[in-house]
Amino acid sequence: MKTLLPMLKPYRKECILAPLFKMLEASFELMIPLVVADMIDTGIAGGDGGYIVRMCLLMVALGIVGLLSAITAQYFSAAAAVGFAASLRHRLLSHILRLSYSQTDQLGASTMVTRLTSDVNQVQNGVNLTLRLLLRSPFVVFGAMVMAFTIDFSSALVFLGVIPLLCLVVFGIMLITMPMYKRVQGALDQVTSAARQNLTGVRVLRAFCKEDAEVAAFRKSTQELTRRQLSAGRISALMNPITYVMINLAVVLLVRIGAVKVESGILTQGLVIALYNYMSQILVELIKMANLIITITKAVACGKRIEGILQILPDQENGASSGSSLRGHVEFRGVSARYRGASHESLEGISFTAQPGQTIGIIGGTGSGKTTLVNLIPRFFDVSQGQVLLDGVDVRDYDAASLRGRIGVVPQKAVLFKGTIRENLLWGNAQAPDSDLWSALEIAQAREVVKSKEGELNSAVEQNGLNFSGGQRQRLTIARALVRKPRILILDDSASALDYATEAALRTALKTIPDPPTTFLVSQRAASVRYADRILVLEDGQLVGQGTHQTLLDTCPVYQEIYYSQFPKEVCGHG
């Protein structure tokens, strides 16, 4: 928690005032039993109705002042807790966005979502209750014990004996349940992961009639979560009955001692009731303290999980070179790449050169390493051996933000964000005028798509672009990359939903761009790459052929297999 606590510094005032007002409320609460005792011994015993009314009004006044103090304390504690949680979420999200693809893949999306939501909420609740009760409850407990000693020393020894026993029970249960609640949060990760996968792939599940299997798997995850929660809950549930039994036994002993002393004239009836009220206050506060400790236990467990994410250092450091003057010359020198935790290389010994403005086609079977290769250019992943050079400079020596500002990437899955078409396009360049947006749409063959919408650029886009077809989403994501006017353009199988005519028009339009970018065109369709200046053929992570379409058709068996599987010889010959 050492990493998280400094984020409370902007709320120092709230962190001081909240406990102070709570202790002020507690001070008024400690005065109530003495007022009641005085009312009984003086007002009721003497039959003085006016005195009884005055004492009742005094109790009401103490209650009102205590209520105002409690509301004020609640306001300050809530302000500190909510502000702290907001700062924590921002810091956590910012840190996650700085992690490399390898690190985020290793953590998993469900883990990061749980940290940002459930874990942060638990820490927020812990901070809120800590500011309100951490000082108040001990203050009332020891204050009530001191007040009891001022009333009668021998009777107060009961308080002195029961409080350590209660503390032993409370802290013992806390130590047992703390690791259990940590395991509960781990099970919650699994449930979140299962839910996320089902929601993301719901159409695939329905297509393959796998609903029952996924429901069974989800039920298994939730049952494991329930089992762990019940295990922790059963032990936590022991706290209230054990403390109640101990307190009530102490009350029985206290009443017994008090009765003897009232009979002897040592104590008055009012003072015995005051002692009983102080014991009841201790009971209430220790129950609050027990619940607070459970909440703190959960918060500490969640805080350590969040801290674990924040302590992961980004494994990609920024270099000093700027990518602002990038021309687009790309060279791979003996490049090998391995995903974290993998047993073998995903790419091995890749070498080629791309001149500025050239179109490089990349083709190969599923899992051959096409996406891995293009992800090395903007340094989404780092090479395990060799070098990726841009304009003769290793990509690891570039400032990442500056470099990626000159590279346009269109991933395999077309992702549009909720908002408008204009807002989505401006992700490419926030300062781009409408003329640049329309120009990018024209090249991406998406102009008619936007023109057909009533609001054109201001038309609404639903989450993930669900109000557009797959081909329309792909064209809009290509336009978004083109708005950046990149020097290197990566189209990672981003035209798979386009028909051949639209794809051909897109390739032609890309050639007409003044000072065209170096374009990497990843595809499994031979028709998409056949007109590229150079084609790279990958198989099992190795470069098995490179050259023009005709050269590869004559010399590369892998390319021949791909091409003729899509265009039979008797139909296309060698053309």
Does residue 242 sit in the same domain as residue 94?
Answer: yes
238 lies in a domain?
yes
**∠ CA 471-477-482 to the nearest 5 degrees?**
125
Per-residue model confidence (pLDDT) at position 68: 92
What is the C-alpha to C-alpha distance for residues 202 and 206, in angstroms, rounded to an integer?
Answer: 6
- Measured N-to-C along each axis, helices 153-200 and 211-237 cross at an angle, to the nearest 10 degrees, of 170
Q: Determine what percent of the chain is predicted with pLDDT higher than 90.
A: 5
Instruction: Tell me the mean pLDDT in the region 47-68.
Output: 87
CA 467 to chain centre: 27
Q: Say what percent of the chain tops pLDDT 70.
A: 97
The CA R_g of the chain, rounded to the nearest whole Å, is 35
Whether 335 is covered by a domain: the verdict is no
pLDDT number for residue 72: 93
Q: Centre a 10 Å sphere on the Cβ of residue 462 and count the other Cβ atoms it contains.
A: 12
**Which amino acid, 329?**
H
Whether residue 290 is found in the same domain as residue 418: no
Pair 210, 95 in one domain:
yes
Q: Tokens for 356?
A: 């500025």
571 pLDDT more than 60: no
pLDDT digits (tens, 9 = 90+) for 475-526: 888 898 888 888 899 988 887 777 788 888 888 888 888 888 899 988 888 8
Q: What is the pLDDT of residues 274-323, one digit of tens each?
A: 888 887 788 778 778 777 877 887 888 888 888 888 888 877 666 667 76
Contact 181/228 with Cβ under 8 angstroms? no
Looking at the fold, whether 105 and 240 belong to one and the same domain comes out as: yes
Q: Tell me: do 300 and 425 sit in the same domain.
A: no
Within a domain: 374: no
Mean pLDDT for all residues in the chain: 84
Q: How many CA atoms lie within 13 A of 263 on its CB side?
A: 6
Same domain, 277 and 423: no
Tokens linked to 215: 């429901």
CATH of the domain at 193: 1.20.1560.10
CA-based diameter of the chain, in Å? 120
Q: Write the DSSP string, 132-151.
A: HHTTHHHHHHHHHHHHHHHH
- C-alpha 322/C-alpha 397 separation (Å) is 9
Distance of CA 543 to the CA centre of its chain: 39
Query: Roughly how many angstroms between the first and final C-alpha of the chain, as a whole number?
Result: 67
DSSP assignment letter at 395: G
Q: How confident is the model over 154-199, as pLDDT tens digits?
A: 777 887 788 788 778 877 887 787 788 778 877 887 888 788 788 8
Q: Is residue 217 part of a domain?
A: yes
Residue pair 387/309 in contact by the 8 Å Cβ criterion: no
Residue 443: inside a domain, yes or no?
Answer: yes
The residue ranking higher by pLDDT, 281 or 352, is: 352
pLDDT above 60 for 574: no
Residues 300 and 424 in one domain: no
- What are 8-55's pLDDT values in tens digits? 888 888 889 998 998 888 888 888 888 888 888 888 877 778 888 888
- CATH of residue 460's domain is 3.40.50.300
Q: Is residue 227 a part of any domain in this protein?
A: yes
pLDDT band at 75 (very low <50, low <70, confident <90, very high): very high
Same domain for 215 and 74: yes
Side chain identity at 219, as an amino acid letter?
R
Give yes or no for a contact between 137 and 152, defined as CB atoms under 8 angstroms apart. no
pLDDT (0 to 100) of residue 217: 87
Token output for 293: 């400790």
Structural domain ending residue among the three candidates 485, 508, 533? 485
Q: Taking Cα atoms as reference points, which of 228, 200, 195, 186 lies closest to residue 214?
A: 195
Residue 494 covered by a domain: no
pLDDT digits (tens, 9 = 90+) for 229-261: 898 888 888 877 887 788 788 888 888 888 888
Whether residue 72 is found in the same domain as residue 207:
yes
Of the candidates 357, 369, 349, 348, which has an alpha carbon nearest to the alpha carbon of residue 330? 357
> Where does a domain end: 261, 289, 307?
307
By residue range, what is the domain housing residue 456?
A: 407-485
Residue 409, token pair as written in the block: 């990437």
Last residue in a domain, options 278, 307, 336:
307
The reported pTM is 0.69
| Span 370-400, pLDDT tens digits | 888 988 888 888 888 888 889 888 888 888 8
Residue 173 one-letter amino acid: I
In this structure, are 275 and 418 located in the same domain?
Answer: no
Question: For the chain, what is the domain count?
Answer: 2
* 284 domain-assigned: yes
Residue 575 pLDDT class (50, 70, 90 cuts): very low
pLDDT in tens, 262-276: 888 788 888 888 888
Co-location of 301 and 416 in the same domain:
no
Q: CA-to-CA distance for 170 and 58, rounded, in angstroms?
A: 35
Q: Please report the pLDDT score of residue 320 as a whole number.
A: 66
